[in-house]
Amino acid sequence: MYKKIITILLICVTLICSGFKPVGWYIKRAGKNIDRGDFKEAKKNYLKALEIEKDNYKANLGMGFLLSETLEDYATALPYLEKALKNQNKDTVADLSYALGKSYQFTAQFAKALFYFTKLNQVKAFEDDNLDFIKDVTKRKLDCQYALQNFDKIKSTFNSDCYVVNVGKTINTDAPEYVPVFNLQNQLIFTSKRKDEKQKITNILDIKYYESMFISKLENGKFSDAKPYELSELKSNYLRGNESVISITGDGKELFVFKNGKIYETSFDELKKTEAKLLNKSINEDYYQSHAFLTKDGTTLYFTSDSKNGLGGNDIYKSTKISDGEWTPPENLGGTINTGYDEDAPFMSEDGKTLYFSSKGHLGYGNYDIFKSTFENGKWSQPENLGQPVNSTGNDIFLIQTQNQSTGYFSSSRIGGFGGMDIYKVNYFNTIDKTCPANLSTLTTLKISDTELEDFKNTIDLNLQQPYKALSYDWQINGKIIGNNRAVLSYDYLSAGIYTISVKTIAYCDSCLEPIVACNIIENKFETKIVDTVKTLVSVDLKIFKGELNNEQLKFLGFNINPILFDLKQNTLNTEAETILQTNSAVLKQYPSLSIQLIVGYSKINDNKKISNLSLSKARAQSVKNYLLKKKVLKKQIQNIITKSDADVKTITSSDQQPQQSRRVIIKVFNTIKK
C-alpha cells in the first residue's frame, strides 16, 4: 500500500514539473478568453483540452458553441457538436439541438436540421416566453421544407442567367466583409470588421471589431489591395465606433453611410473636406436605421428601420424628397414586402420598377435570402426568391447592380468563403461581351475523330483546360451558326470539301471575376469518294430474312444507324437525337415485323458511382423507348433494354467523364418471320 502511494505521488510530481494541466483548466481558460473576445485563444485552449481527452463533453460542446453561435462557422462546428451529442446533458439539450439544427441547415443537410428543430417542440426552451426564439425555429423549419423541395438547385454555382464568384483575398479576409458599393470610377467601397490597426477595439455587442470602410479599384479584371476609406478626418471614429458604407446614388455624387445607428449623407467628391450630414427625423427616427438606397432620379429613398410601427423586426420604408429638400414621413412598404421577420438592404433597379431586398421572413434556403418584387398598377408583386446561385444556406444580403445591370455584387456567409461574410460578384450572361479576342485561345483544343471513312461525317471534340468550366458553346461551319451547345460536334457535311469549323466557348473558374471568351478554329477536310460502280446497294427481303439486320440492310430500309447521343449528365433527348428517332419510328411503323433492342453502357471504374451511372444509362434508354411509343411504334416491337458495363464491352460506356460518343444508346434491329 505504501509503495502505491509513493508511486502516485511521484506521478503527480512529474506531471506538475512537466507543466501538465488538466482538461478543466483549459476549458476554464477558454471561457475567460471568450469573455474577453479573444476567440483565437479560446479555440486554442479548447483544442488543447481535446488533445488530452478527445471525447470530453464540455470541451466539445464549448468548441461547437464557439464556432457555431459566435463565429458562425457551422461546418467546422458540426463534428464537435455531434461528439457532444453522444454525452449530452439534459440542461443543454435545447441549446445543443438548436446549434445542431442550424449547423445541419447551413451545410444543406435539411432533413437532419428539420429533425433537430422539431425536437425543440418538446423541450423547456419552447415553453419559455421567448417569442423571438419560437419565431426563429418555426421559420427555420419552413425553410428546411422549402429547401428539400428545391434540393436539386442547392449546390449550383451558375444557372442559365448568371454565375457567382468570390471577389478574392484582396477584398475578403477571415473577418466579415459586406455592403459592397461600386462607383463610377470602378472602385469597390465596402465595410469590414477586420483589425487593421492596433488601436482598434471590439464591440461589446458582438465581440467583433468595429466596422470601418475600405476601398479597392477594379483594373484589368482584378481588384487592388483594399485600403482604409474614412469619412471626414476630423469626425471619423472608426477605431471605437461603427462606420459603414450603405449605398451610392445613381449619378455617383452622393454617398450614404451608417454611423452609430443613424444614416448620413455625404458628397462623394467632398468626402475628405465636409462632414457627413445626418438625414432628418423622417428617416432617422428614435429607432435603429441600418440601410438606405436613393433611386436614380433622386426623389425616393428606400430605407430600413426597426420602428415600433412596423410589422416586426426590420421593415423597409420609403420617403419622398419634397421641394425644400426635406423628406416626407416614412411609408411602410406593406405586408407584401415586409413580414414579421427582418427585411433589409433595399436596392432599386435603374428603371425604378424592380426592388431587390433581403428577407428572413419569405421562404428561402435559410437565414437571409435575396428577393425581387416589381411595382405595377400601384402595388408590389409577390416577392420572388432569386434562387441559386445567388442565394445559399448562409446569409445572402446587400445585392447591388452596376450601371446597365451588367454585373452585381452582394455579401454572403456561404460555405467556401474566407470567413464570416464575404463579398461576391454576379456576372449576368446576357450582358457578357462575347467578342472573340484577337488571338486564338490556348485554353481549348479541338480533335477530329472519324470512324467511318466512306461517308462525309465525323466528330470534333473540344477539350477545355482545368480549372475552367464551360458556360456555353457556339459552333459555326464556314461562318454558319450550328445549333449545338455541347463540347462535341457530330455533323454530316454531305459532300467533299474543306470546311472551316470555329467554336466560341464562354468559360469561368472559381477565381475568375469575369467570364473568359475562348475561340478556336480547325479545318475539316473531306476528299471526293471513289465510287465502286460494281458494288450495288444491299437489299433485304423481310418476308424470308430472319435475325439481326446489318448496317447495309438497315440503310436499304431507310433506317438511321447512328447511335442516340446524350449531353453530359442528361437523360433528355436533344434535337439531333429526336431527328434520328423520327426517321426510325417511321421505318418501324412501316415494317411491323421489325423489333429492336436498346443497348446502353455504364462505367464500373468507380464502384461508388456505379449505381448512379447505371441509373442514368437506364433513364437514357427509357427516354428513347418513350419517344418511340409516343410516335405510335408498337410496344411489342421494343424487345428490351440491355445494360453492359465497360468491362463487358469496350465500345460502349456511359461514364460521364468520357466524350459524348460514349454517352449513347445503340439500337439493334431484328426481323421476325410470321409462320
Report pLDDT digits (tens) over 507-543.
Answer: 988 888 888 899 999 999 888 765 454 444 567 888 8
In angstroms, rounded to a whole number, what is the distance separating the alpha carbons of residues 199 and 192? 16
Tens of pLDDT along 114-123?
A: 999 998 886 5
From-to residues of CATH 2.60.40.10 in the chain: 444-526
From-to residues of CATH 2.120.10.30 in the chain: 162-431
- Find the mean pLDDT for residues 182-193: 90
pLDDT-derived band at 9, boundaries 50, 70, 90? very low
Amino acid at 267: S
Q: Which three cell numbers stand for residue 291?
A: 440601410
Closest CA to 238 of 227, 247, 229, 246: 229
Helix/strand/coil for 404: helix
Which residues, 6 or more positions from 545, have their beta carbon under 8 angstroms from its beta carbon? 553, 671, 673
In angstroms, rounded to a whole number, what is the distance separating the alpha carbons of residues 609 and 645? 13
Block residue for cell numbers 412596423? 310
Query: What is the predicted pLDDT for the residue at 501?
Result: 94
In angstroms, rounded to a whole number, what is the distance separating the alpha carbons of residues 484 and 577? 12
Which residues share a beta bridge with 518? 505
Which residues share a beta bridge with 491? 458
Q: Taking a C-beta distance cutoff of 8 angstroms, is the pair 167, 424 a contact?
A: yes
| CA distances, 525 to each of 458, 481, 493 (Å) | 10, 19, 10
Angle of helix 110-119 relative to helix 131-149, nearest 10 degrees, comes to 150
Q: Taking a C-beta distance cutoff of 8 angstroms, is the pair 584, 559 a contact?
A: yes
CATH number of 26-153: 1.25.40.10
Phi, psi of 227, deg, nearest 5: -125, 155
Q: Which three cell numbers stand for residue 52?
A: 488530452
H-helix segments, 302-389: none
| CA distances, 626 to each of 124, 580, 670 (Å) | 55, 14, 19
Q: How many of the other CB atoms lie within 10 Å of CB of 392? A: 27
Helix/strand/coil for 199: coil
Query: What is the predicted pLDDT for the residue at 487?
Result: 93
| CA distances, 65 to each of 59, 83, 427, 666 (Å) | 10, 12, 36, 56
- Report CA dihedral (212, 218, 221, 222) to the nearest 10 degrees: -40
- Find the mean pLDDT for residues 362-379: 93
Tens of pLDDT along 469-502?
A: 898 899 999 999 988 889 999 999 988 889 999 9
pLDDT-derived band at 675, boundaries 50, 70, 90? low
Tens of pLDDT along 172-183?
A: 998 899 999 998
Query: What is the predicted pLDDT for the residue at 650?
Result: 42
Query: What is the predicted pLDDT for the residue at 652?
Result: 42
Which residues, 6 or more positions from 261, have their beta carbon under 8 angstroms from its beta carbon? 288, 289
In angstroms, rounded to a whole number, what is the distance separating the alpha carbons of residues 198 and 436? 49
Query: What is the predicted pLDDT for the residue at 626?
Result: 92
pLDDT-derived band at 197, boundaries 50, 70, 90? confident
In angstroms, rounded to a whole number, what is the distance separating the alpha carbons of residues 639 and 46? 65
CATH number of 547-671: 3.30.1330.60
Tell me what percent of the residues of the chain surpass a pLDDT of 70: 83
Element (H, E) at 506: strand 497-508
Q: Which three cell numbers stand for residue 380?
A: 408590389
- Find the mean pLDDT for residues 74-101: 87
Please indicate whether residue 338 or residue 184 has the higher confidence score (pLDDT). 338
Beta strands in 4-128 (DSSP E): none
Query: What is the predicted pLDDT for the residue at 609?
Result: 53
Which residues, 6 or more positions from 212, have their beta carbon under 8 angstroms from its beta carbon? 191, 192, 193, 194, 196, 200, 228, 230, 238, 243
Max CA pair span of the chain: 113
Q: How many of the other CB atoms lie within 10 Å of CB of 155? A: 12
In angstroms, rounded to a whole number, what is the distance separating the alpha carbons of residues 673 and 675? 6
pLDDT-derived band at 661, boundaries 50, 70, 90? low
In angstroms, rounded to a whole number, what is the distance separating the alpha carbons of residues 593 and 542? 8
Query: What is the predicted pLDDT for the residue at 65?
Result: 93
Beta strands in 333-378 (DSSP E): 343-348, 354-359, 369-376
Among 6-20, 22-36, 181-195, name the one with the lowest average pLDDT: 6-20
Helix/strand/coil for 620: helix
pLDDT at 562 over 80: yes
Query: What is the predicted pLDDT for the residue at 14?
Result: 37
Query: What is the predicted pLDDT for the residue at 289?
Result: 67
Query: What is the predicted pLDDT for the residue at 11?
Result: 38
Domain 444-526 has CATH 2.40.50.140: no
Tell me what percent of the residues of the chain surpass a pLDDT of 90: 40
pLDDT-derived band at 155, boundaries 50, 70, 90? low
- Sheet with 254-259: list strands edge to edge: 243-248, 254-259, 262-267, 277-278
pLDDT at 151 over 90: no
* CATH top-level class of 162-431: mainly beta
The single-letter DSSP state of residue 104 is H
Query: What is the predicted pLDDT for the residue at 167?
Result: 94
From-to residues of CATH 3.30.1330.60 in the chain: 547-671
- Find the mean pLDDT for residues 289-300: 84
Q: In terms of DSSP bridges, do strands 407-412 and 396-401 run parallel, antiparallel, or are they unpaired? A: antiparallel
Query: What is the predicted pLDDT for the residue at 116?
Result: 92
Instruction: Look over the chain and give the mean of its residue pLDDT values, rounded to a whole number.
Output: 83
Query: What is the predicted pLDDT for the residue at 126?
Result: 47
Please indicate whether residue 133 or residue 125 has the higher confidence score (pLDDT). 133
pLDDT-derived band at 19, boundaries 50, 70, 90? very low
pLDDT at 330 over 50: yes
Length of the chain: 675
pLDDT at 449 over 80: yes
| CA distances, 212 to each of 21, 85, 143, 543 (Å) | 40, 39, 33, 87
Query: What is the predicted pLDDT for the residue at 664?
Result: 84
Q: Which three cell numbers stand for residue 327?
A: 423628406
pLDDT-derived band at 232, boundaries 50, 70, 90? low
Query: What is the predicted pLDDT for the residue at 5?
Result: 42
Block residue for cell numbers 420602428? 307
Q: Which three cell numbers stand for residue 427?
A: 456576372
- Find the mean pLDDT for residues 262-277: 73
The single-letter DSSP state of residue 2 is H
In angstroms, rounded to a whole number, what is the distance separating the alpha carbons of residues 198 and 651? 67
Among 4-13, 240-249, 289-298, 600-609, name the one with the lowest average pLDDT: 4-13
Which residues share a beta bridge with 501? 477, 522
